[in-house]
Structure formats: C-alpha cells, structure tokens
Structure 1
Amino acid sequence: MHRRRALLLLLTGLFTLLFSSLGLGALANAQTPTTGPISVIATTPADGETLTAAPPEIILNFAAILPDIEAVIQLQNANKELLNVGQPIAFNNRTSLKVRVLEQTGLPAGGYLVTWLVRPKDSKPISGKFAFILEAPDGSTTGTDSTTDTTEPIKIETGGLGLTKSNYSGGFLGMIGRLLAYIGLAGLAGALLFVALAWAEGVEYVLTVRHMIAAWAIGTFGSLVSLAALSADMKGVSLARGMLPTSWGSALDTTYGKVLVIRFLAMAASVWVARHPERVVDPTSRWMAFGGPGLALITYGWSRHSEGILSVPFGILHMVGISAWFGGAALLARVVLAGPGEADLVTALKRFRGIALPALGLTVFSGIIEAAFHLGGARNLLNTGYGKILVLKILAVAAMAFVGTANRQFVRSRLARTRTLPPRPAQRLRKSVRTEIMIGAFVLLLTGWMTGAKAPDAGSSDPAAVNKNTLMSDDGTFKVEVTFGPKKVGAQVEVHFRLLKPKTITNGLIAFTPNDVNAASIEVPIEGSPRYGFGPDQGFVFPASGTWTITVTATGPDGDLPAASGQFAVRNQDGSEPTPTSSTIATDITRQTVPDTTEPVDTTPVKAAN
C-alpha cells in the first residue's frame, strides 16, 4: 500500500513537472517570433547599388528568425578573387547576418559580387548572390593603389552563430542542477552498494524503498536541469525550452553535452532498481540493477567541459568514493537509525565501517590526483577562484572525515557487545550522522561549483575566470564587467561579458586595440545580451604582446553611451613579461582566386535565392 502511494505521488510529480515544462516552453514560443522559411528580404549594400565609399560590412536581412545553421558569406572582385571578410555574425534577434570587410588596403573601384550560403541542420542548404558597384569619388584614385592608411590595425571580427547568449550552465541554476544530480546519484548508488555488501535485510523495509525512490527522483531532476541549462546556453533559448528533447541537439555537438544526455538517461532508467532494491541482492539481476547508476557514475569521468584522458579514471573513482560514503551515511540516517531495532540494524552499523573507511581513502586519493591535474601548480591554490573553492572543499572533507570517524568509533565502542539498537544511542548517533550528511552535501555543493568554474591547468595558469575587468564610463552611466584570458600571445582567448548599467543595450562592441605595435585589433559584438561570452574553442588569439586597450561601446535606451575603457598587458608567447620589442604572430594576407567555374562578377542586379 505504501509503495503504491509513493509511486502514485512520484508519477504525479513527474507529470506535473513535464506538463509545466511543456507549458513554459509553449509560453516561451508564444512570446518569441518563430522560425520560418529562410529567405533574404533585403541586403546592405542593396542588389545593384552603386556606392561611392567602400562598405565597412555586408548585411543580409531574413524574413524570419534563423534556426541552427552554418553560414558562409563571400566577397569577390572583378578578377574573381576572394576578398577578406570576417565570420558571419547573427544579430537583430537572429533575423540578420553580417560580416565585416577586412581588406587592409581598402576596396578599389569596380564591381563586386557577394555570394552567401546558409546550411540549416534539418533542411537543404539555401544560397544566393547579389552585386554592387563601387565608384571612386572625385579626386581619389582607382585600382589597387588605394590611399588607405595601411598603418591602421586590421579589424578582426570574432565569434559567430555559436556564441553563448546565456549563462545558465555556469550560473546559479546550473550549479543547483549539478548539486541535485550529485546528491541524488550518490544517495542512490551508495545506498544500493550498502544494501548489496552489508545489509541485504534492508530491502524488506518500506523506508528503504522510499529513500531510494526519493534519491532517484532528485538525481534525475538534477541531471535534467544540468542538461537543460547547457542546451539553453548553446541554443540560445529559455531554460524551460532547454528541458525539451528537441533542444538537446546542440548539446550533442560537444563531448560534455553527450555526457549529460547519457547521465540523464541512465538516471531515468535507474527507476527499475530504485522501486525494487531487492534486485541488487538477487544474483540473477544484481549486475543489471547496478547498470543504470553505474553508467551515471562513469559519466563523471568527463564532468568538466574539457578533460585530459589521464584525469578520466580518477574522476570516476572520485565519484564512486563519494557515493559509497555519502549514500551509505544517508541510508543510515534515514532508515537504519530511524528508531530502535533488532540485530540486523546493529550489524548494518558495524559493517558500514568497512565501507566508509575505504571510500574515504578513495575519495581523498582521487581528489588529490584530480586537483593536481586541474590546478596547474600550487601557485594557483590561493590566487584563483578554482583554487579557493578547492581549499574550502578540502576543509569540508576534513570536517566530514572527522565527524564520520567519530561516528564509527561510537558504534565500535557502544555497540560492540549488544545485539539490539537501544532508543537513546540510536537517536544520538542519528543526529551525528545527520551532521556528517549535511557536511557531505556541502562538499557536493562545492564540487558542483568547481565543475562550473574555470580551472587553471599546467598549460594556462591565467584562465579567463580570474581575469575580471570592471569598466565604467567617466560619467558612470555605462558600467560593464569583461572577463577574458589568457592574456598571452598565441593562446586561445576566452571572453565573458556582463552588463551592469544600464539594464539593456544595443549595438554593443568590445574592442581590443594594441598600443605599442601595428598589429590586428579584435572586435567582439555583444548584440545586446546582458550576459554574453564564448569559450576558448570559439575565441581568438592576441597577435602581439605589450600594452593593449579594451574599449566597450554601445547604445543605451536614451542614445549612444560614453565608452568604457581600460588597459592591460599581453605577455609573450613563452609567458614572460612583454619587452619594448614585442613578439608578434605573422599575419600574412593571402589571396584565394575563385576557380574558373565560378560565375564572373556581373553588375546586373541578381535576386537573392529563396
């Protein structure tokens, strides 16, 4: 009767969660313009337009919001040569694409053809072209001998359609999702291990089934929130829409996303053993019963966005140790010590000592190895955010170990000669084990926090997460937080932006400009999002060391905002401090000729393909 009632309540909660998510997703869809057939309704320059000044950028305006796509925009001159343009940038609520013209010597007078290709993930590619003419103004030269000042830095457009528009995964909701996933999986896996190794009689208790179902529900929901947060970040949708399986496609493009999908499915499948824990003591079904929780535990070898192959087994061992320790203690507090009992409860308490001590040693050993992989040296222990969280976790694990050792010693001394569990010792021990569990939950919270934090490593002790720059305009009306790094020549740079004042902006731009050398400057469009950024795999590199200036410009609700700027130093490629003779990376300009099969440039207006 109790099992049926618990199952009914569980199913009711899950259906409520599912329909709430669907309702919120439908509401989000109702409030956001929907995607439609891809067709160009306008271009800048216009098709067939004659210009007297070279366009700084090329813009395509579409009839509807663009779905997940790959885009290519090319510019060629009358000699069928491909000219230098930036990467396509989605803006205007993803209804437009633009590229910046990057020709160092400018565009000479003549005819030009723009070709574009949009490749949606779920449909056939769409392409089109349009042409424009550039005439030389009076008194200027034509041809390739442009009077453009070649000492101007090259403007490099960075980013693209894959840039993160939200920060659910690395923010508070992502951390809560990881915490619930940790607690639920550790509670379920540890309890099953405890029952299988030390307390086979526990499957006969209704409280055991309730405990395992609760742990399964918490872990499954936490895994879903973690997956939804990453999907929402990568797809640029709300967290509610990120919970729908239709939004998980973008997450599957990354290893970490695949890991989260597998973890969620493994946790969901573990309901088979959570409802019937007796399957872990049945020799015919034991290994199958451990299949779901075991697979979920294995995924924690890839618990970070980027893992070295050597750290994977230690990540798995670390999660196994934590689960055996935390999950067993949780089952003790909620079931074994719920009240006085017979000899099987005393036996369970004594046997848990044989599980807790090895689990503690495995947790500490694997944690030290993982810290060595991710910390990148003792110098990062106190001068990085990741290192400070690690110190706090070490102290919490030490406290949990102290309380746990005291609990095991109490069992050994007070219950060594008794065959029953008296009420008073049971109550006292339950309070102490609850304290141990609370500290363990705090340890898991710190673990979830560390997973979302940027960890320094041996190759980069200058991560973006510890390079926070708060910039404010002179009048205080424009204030932003830009976090970026490593600040070193040749390293892929990670950038994160946070708007502090005003609440909304448009046409935002972050510009990195070198002060000491004539090297390329970097421009990162913000597109109006209060939180914006991208990882090192989507970033850029600083081409030269020395002093650089970061400048943020934008348009506020009442017009253009005054610029917010500051200076910073970029180290040499070997990590040494910059010298007056700055090291640079060669940025030779290469010209690619369009094959003869390409249509020649024609100044006759050509309609864009639908």
Structure 2
Amino acid sequence: MTATAPRFGPSPVRLLLAAAVLIGTLLGALLAGASPASAHAALTGSNPKDGAVVATAPKEVTLTFSEQVAMGNDSIRVLEPSGKRSDKAKIRDLSAGGTVSYGVDLLPGLPNGTYTVAWQAISADSHPVSGAFTFSIGAPSKTTVALPDREIGGGFVGVLYDIARYASYAGFVLLAGGAAFVLLCWQRGASVRPLQRLVVQGWVTLTAATLATLLLRTPYTGSGKLADAFDLGGLRDVLETKTGAALISRLLLLGAAALFVAVLFGAYAKREDEAEKKDLTFGLAIGGTVVAAGIAGTWALSEHASTGIQPGLAMPVDVLHLLAVATWLGGLAALLTALYRAPSIERAAVRRFSGVAFTSVVVLAATGLYQSWRQVGSWSALTGTSYGQLLLVKIGLVVVMVGVAWISRRWTAQLGEATASAQEPTEANAEEAEGAEEAADSSDRERAAQLARQKAAVATAQKQKARDADPSRSGLRRSVLAEAGVAVVLLAVTTVLTATEPGRTEEEAARTGGSQAAATVPEGPTEIKMPFDTGGRNGKGTVRLSLDPATSGANEMHVWIDTPDGKPLDAPEVKVSFTLKAKQIGPLPITPDRLTAGHWSSGAVQIPMPGKWQVQVTVRTSDIDQTTIDKNVKIG
C-alpha cells in the first residue's frame, strides 16, 4: 500500500501564489516610488578642466570625486602628446571639508600641446572605476598617445579574484549553514564524520579564499599582474582601505569560528547529559550566530550595502540576507550529506529543517525585496540593466528551489521513523569485534579480529542496501540533490550580482536604446544617426552627430535633434561623451553650446588618439524624461 503524504495547513501552491502577489504588489509600489541614487564614485571636477587651454604648464593636476575613493601612486597618469608620462607618479590626498580630491605633481618644462589625464580608482563599494580627459598647454595639438594595455578588474587576475569571491561565499554557506543544521535540526549529527568534514571544509575554503582575495586585491585594482599579489607595499596599501580592513576582520572572526567548530564537534558531540547538552546548545547557538553575523558583516561593510541610499539600514538588512542564504543553502548541503553519507537520519530532523528553510526563505524574500528596490529602483532598470536581469535570474532560481523543496516536503512526510538500529552500523559491530578479540586465544586473536571486521563490513553493506531500497528516502535524496544543483548556480549568480554595477547607476549612465554596431567610416568628416526615446511625452526622435575632421586632435562637432516627422526638437539638455574602451580612456565629457532650436555645436572636441570610440549622447526632454544612447565609430 502506497503511503500518502499528509497535508500541513494551507496548500503550498496557494501559499506561493499569495506570496507572489504580495511581493509583486510591494515591488511595484517600491519601484514606482524610487528616487535616483549613486553607488559608484564619479569624477565631479578637475583642475585644469576638461578641454581647457592654459597659457603655461600647471604645477599639478587635481581630480575631485563624488564620494570617497582609494587611489595608488599609479592611479593618475598624465601623458604628453608624444605619449611620454609627464607626472611624478606620487598621488597626494587633498581632501578637506567633505570634498574628496586627489592631485599629482607634473614634471617641469612641459612642451606645448594636448595632454591626456587617465585615472583609475576604487569606489567606496570596492569596485574599480576609471576615466580620462584632456587639457592643452599653449594651444591644442594633434596627439598620438599610446597607453599601455591594462585590464582594471579583468584579465586572468580578474578571473582568479572572481573565483576567490565565489569560494568565499560557498565556504561561508557550508560553515554557517552546516553548523546551524546540526544545532537546530539534528544534534546527533555533531558526531557524524561526513557532517564534520563538510563544516570543516567550509571553514578551510572561506579562510583560504579570504587570504587569496587579500593577496589578489593589489593586482585586481592596479596593474593586473599576478606577480604583484606578493608586493608587500601593495598589501600595506590594501590594508589601509575599507576592503582590506573587512578582509582582516573576517580572518580574525574565522579564528573564533575555528574555536566554535572545535567545541561543536568535540565536547558537544561527546556530551550525553541532556540538561548539560541543552545549555551548551543554547550557548553555541548564541555564539555561533554572533560569529556568523560578524563574518556576514564584512561583506555588508565593504560592498554595495555600504554606499548609496540608506546605508545605515541596508547593512544590517544585508547581514540578515546573507545569514538566511547560508542557513538555507548550507542546511541543504548538510541534509544532502546526511542522506548520502550518514547511515540514517530521523524524519523529525528532516521536518525541522523544512521549518528552518521556510523561515529562511521568508527572511530572504523580505530582505531581497528591500535590496531590489534600493539597487534597481525602477521597472526599466529591472529589465534593461545587467544588474536587473541577473536579479530576475536569481529570483527565478529561488522560485525553482522552492518548488523542488515542496516535492522534498512530500517525500519527508513518507519517511519512516528511524529505529534504534539506525545508529552507526559500525559501532555495534565494533563492540562485537572487540568481544570476539577478548574471547579468542592469543594465537587466534588476529583471525578473530579479521572475521569480526568482515562481519561488520557485511552488516554495513546490508544496511546500506536496505536504506537505498527505501523509495521515500531515495525520492528525498533525488529532490534534495536537485535543490543543491540549483543552489550551486544560484550562488554563482549571487556572486556575479555583488560585483555588478547596481541598476540605478547603470541606468543613469546609459540606457540601452542605441545601436551598438560599429560604424566604419573613412578618415574625414563623419556623421552618425541614433534614434532615441526618453519615455515621456514628445520624447521620441533622432540624434544626428557630425565630427569634422574625425581624426585625433582638435575636432568640430555638431548635434542635431529631430522629431519623428523631421522637425527640430529643442531639448532642454544635451550632453556628449567619447570613450576609448580598448585603451581605458574616457569618458571624455562634452557639453555642446545651443546654436538654434534643435542644433548644438562644440569647436573644442579633443580626441587624444585614433581608434574605435564609443560616442554617447544624453538627451533630456523634460525635468524627468532622459535617456542616453550610444554608437561606436572609428576615428582617425
């Protein structure tokens, strides 16, 4: 007769539908009422200004940023027309009175011509940012600046850094979630070797990944050369940053975590008195929660949650989010280990984990909803930015996991209760073997021990076979394995998400409405056309941009904006920028002058070097309707 899973309260399908409606309603209200915010540092000013022509060579170049940044001695490079470096490669912090400013001294006796200032920095959320602009001494000149190839936050070092970040999250999940599973769901599991190995492996992985992240931070944010990972000077500079302090704090907390693990699998696993074990369980739960929250806080204090709007609320919410993820996914890994490696696990333990997982998912949904509003901010950013699209993938994966978890719940209801024979099969047989050894004559002791070991092996194999033949247990193992597979992908998406620019700032920088195809043009005057739609009333039209002579050096630029019926559209604001991504130059911002309705012009567009440049045009048609379109064009 087939067992039927009992019903526990309302239908899971109804609960999922109700949760979806509630989350959708709240998400819609939050996204509709979102206001702009910035999460990455931006260059707000410079001296000399972009495009400026000065009569004599300045003594220094200074840059001003929208928020605190971290810079090294090679973070600002000033290149003269020949491409030779013309600064002293010594950054000075000029910040004062709430203004974030850095400067670099220039070499004496600089020749006339157009100079390129290329900069890179680490914003407060730990992500690399960069840009460039030009100024001229005496008069503008044609330049052929050749910047060295550099990959800030990319290349082989970037791959290693991303692997270390993923390993850090995975290690934290196994460490915190595995320990929580033992304390909250299956206290007998503290003496099960496979579970012990799982949690210890989590600690080792997180510790090793944290050390690797600390060492890779210098080349990741600087030269991109793996050998610089062992630069003691660079390591010293990293330790003075917020990210470095967070990584060192994590290593110190991992020392406390090692003591916690030793007690959990040592004194706690051997404790037999129920009253004493209950008190120790409470103490370990409190201590473990504090340590886990501290480790989670090292991410919250150094990444997206620490910048932008409402950081005071966002950081504790981020800690709760990480703890919920670890409890759910780490507990899932522990359950899978118990199902495959442990001789048995009681149905009560599996049901307790089901309750813990449900609570974790509720916390995950609530904190994730707030984070979505804070980092995305609008429906267009949810679907039109990389961050928003990754977030949708993450939400989809969570929904899939919840669906598979419901299947696991049904299998759990059909599990038979563990009997006394469900103890470690080797324990009873080991006692039997010991008795056999004592009863045997000294001459037969070795033979008796061998027979006892063989009997224990046969008993273990029989119990394993009987356990695997249980259809309910096999079904639960398959569904939990499917959950774990989705969890691995979910953790990878989450890792990428934490390193992706939030949708708010990405949408502010550029809306993906322009054509990305490169326009191949011959040397000489060139013109490109780009349709746009700001989303508001009378917000559609076409931008025509001409550049003459479309070569490196000085250029004259004209911008015309027409409505769909060909009439001039007099937009309140038009901005243009040029970026050479291959050489990490830019964006070079240009604010053209309005000549007539629908026509803007600038006669001081300096293109430092030939190449495939990305031209971005920002058009604002009302106080709230704005879009940025772009197109690639070969210049020179």
Deviation of the 1:453 alpha carbon: 1.2
Query: What residue is the counterpart of 1:180 in the other structure?
Result: 167
Determine whether 1:449 maps to 2:496.
yes
Deviation of the 1:346 alpha carbon: 3.7
Determine whether 1:168 maps to 2:153.
yes
Deviation of the 1:126 alpha carbon: 11
Match of 1:436 among 460, 470, 483: 483
CA distance in 2, matches of 1:207, 1:255: 37
Distance 1:368 1:572, change over 3 A: same
Match of 2:78 among 86, 89, 94: 89
CA distance in 2, matches of 1:573, 1:155: 36
Gaps of 5+ in 2: 1-53, 62-70, 94-102, 122-128, 131-149, 269-279, 423-466, 524-533, 535-550, 561-571, 628-636
CA distance in 2, matches of 1:287, 1:405: 30
* 1:451-530 → structure 2 map (5 Å cutoff): 451-457=498-504, 461-463=507-509, 471=518, 473-474=520-521, 515=559, 530=582
Distance 1:363 1:565, change over 3 A: closer
CA distance in 2, matches of 1:265, 1:508: 53
1:221 alignment partner, SS class: helix
8 Å contact kept, 2:405–2:480 = yes
Match of 1:278 among 261, 265, 272: 265
TM-score by length of 1: 0.56
Deviation of the 1:299 alpha carbon: 2.6
Superposed CA deviations along residues 286-344 of structure 1, whole A, max 9, x for unmatched, are 64455543311123334327343132222111111111100011011113542432xx6
Query: What residue is the counterpart of 1:112 in the other structure?
Result: none
Determine whether 1:300 maps to 2:299.
yes
8 Å contact kept, 1:267–1:293 = no
Deviation of the 1:172 alpha carbon: 4.2
Query: What residue is the counterpart of 1:48 in the other structure?
Result: none
Distance 1:508 1:287, change over 3 A: farther
Identity, % of aligned pairs? 18
Query: What residue is the counterpart of 2:331 in the other structure?
Result: 328
CA distance in 2, matches of 1:384, 1:226: 27
Query: What residue is the counterpart of 1:483 in the other structure?
Result: none
| AA of the residue aligned to 1:160 | W
| AA of the residue aligned to 1:306 | T
CA distance in 1, matches of 2:256, 2:556: 49
Distance 1:547 1:391, change over 3 A: farther
Please say which of residues 564-573 and 200-209 is displaced more in the overlay: 564-573
Distance 1:119 1:565, change over 3 A: closer
8 Å contact kept, 1:225–1:243 = no
Query: What residue is the counterpart of 1:222 in the other structure?
Result: 209
CA RMSD of aligned residues (A): 5.0
1:89 alignment partner, SS class: strand
8 Å contact kept, 2:177–2:329 = yes
Query: What residue is the counterpart of 1:359 in the other structure?
Result: 360
2:86 alignment partner, SS class: strand
Match of 1:317 among 313, 320, 335: 320
8 Å contact kept, 1:184–1:215 = yes
Query: What residue is the counterpart of 1:576 in the other structure?
Result: 625
8 Å contact kept, 2:576–2:590 = no
Determine whether 1:69 maps to 2:73.
yes
8 Å contact kept, 1:513–1:521 = no
| AA of the residue aligned to 2:341 | A
8 Å contact kept, 1:547–1:567 = no
8 Å contact kept, 1:184–1:219 = yes
CA distance in 1, matches of 2:104, 2:58: 21
* 1:200-211 → structure 2 map (5 Å cutoff): 200-211=187-198
Query: What residue is the counterpart of 1:400 in the other structure?
Result: 401
8 Å contact kept, 1:385–1:466 = no
Superposed CA deviations along residues 245-297 of structure 1, whole A, max 9, x for unmatched, are 65344445654554344335534663344455337954666644555433111
Determine whether 1:424 maps to 2:480.
no
| AA of the residue aligned to 1:232 | P
Query: What residue is the counterpart of 1:604 in the other structure?
Result: none
Deviation of the 1:229 alpha carbon: 4.7
1:340 alignment partner, SS class: coil
Distance 1:393 1:419, change over 3 A: farther
Please say which of residues 220-229 and 400-409 is displaced more in the overlay: 220-229
Query: What residue is the counterpart of 1:63 in the other structure?
Result: none
CA distance in 2, matches of 1:315, 1:451: 11
Distance 1:573 1:184, change over 3 A: farther
CA distance in 2, matches of 1:198, 1:510: 71
CA distance in 2, matches of 1:200, 1:452: 37
Give 1 or 2: higher helix fraction.
2
8 Å contact kept, 2:185–2:349 = yes
Superposed CA deviations along residues 187-216 of structure 1, whole A, max 9, x for unmatched, are 110111111222222221222221112112
8 Å contact kept, 1:547–1:570 = no
Deviation of the 1:401 alpha carbon: 0.8
8 Å contact kept, 2:215–2:230 = yes
Distance 1:424 1:363, change over 3 A: farther
Deviation of the 1:450 alpha carbon: 1.1
User: Which structure has the bigger radius of gyration?
Assistant: 2
| AA of the residue aligned to 1:298 | G
8 Å contact kept, 1:509–1:523 = no
Determine whether 1:532 maps to 2:579.
no
CA distance in 1, matches of 2:365, 2:518: 41
Query: What residue is the counterpart of 1:31 in the other structure?
Result: none
8 Å contact kept, 1:224–1:243 = no
CA distance in 2, matches of 1:357, 1:179: 25
Please say which of residues 313-322 and 169-178 is displaced more in the overlay: 169-178
Superposed CA deviations along residues 409-456 of structure 1, whole A, max 9, x for unmatched, are 211233368777633344442232121111111111111111111112
CA distance in 2, matches of 1:118, 1:320: 42
TM-score by length of 2: 0.54
Deviation of the 1:568 alpha carbon: 2.6
Distance 1:410 1:521, change over 3 A: closer
CA distance in 1, matches of 2:173, 2:109: 62
1:96 alignment partner, SS class: coil
> Matched residue pairs, number?
423
